[in-house]
Amino acid sequence: MTESTTTAEQIEHIFTAWDDALGAKDLDAAMALYQPDATLESPLVRHFLGTEEGVVRGRDNLRRFVDKVFAHQPAERRRYRVGFLTDGDRLTWEYPRESPDGDQMDIVEVMEIRDGLIAHHRVYWGWVSVGMLTKGQHLK
């Protein structure tokens, strides 16, 4: 097992900086958080990129995908969340369906952090989010 070089401050930075980039739709800020060989898994990968596999590999491919995500966010893609969980290398948080402003997309984000940057990013969707996708609320 290799020793982690990720610190608590780096984990908290990713938690805050990812949300800031998402809110501002700042593609450069978002990409700066990822390792060059990062992967991202999400139901939106298949939807936006037309692939069989829901995985994007490498920062260059990730840039194209995240650009589409930022350009096609439904109004229900709000960012209410409270805190995060970490084991020192993995960062996890929830965007719960119920928020103070009503229902929002229900998503869980899991990021494996290596040397202070995201190495693997997985996005899990709840029933509200899946329903929105099947109804066409994420236009291509």
Residue pLDDT, tens place only, 37-93:
999 999 889 888 888 899 999 999 999 999 998 888 766 677 889 899 999 999 999
Question: What are the start-end ranges of the H helices in the chain?
Answer: 8-24, 27-31, 43-49, 59-71, 127-134
Residues 80 and 61 sit within 8 Å (Cβ to Cβ): no
pLDDT reading at 104 higher than 90: no
The amino acid that residue 69 corresponds to is: V
- DSSP H helix total and E strand total for the chain: 5, 8
For residue 29, pLDDT beyond 90: yes
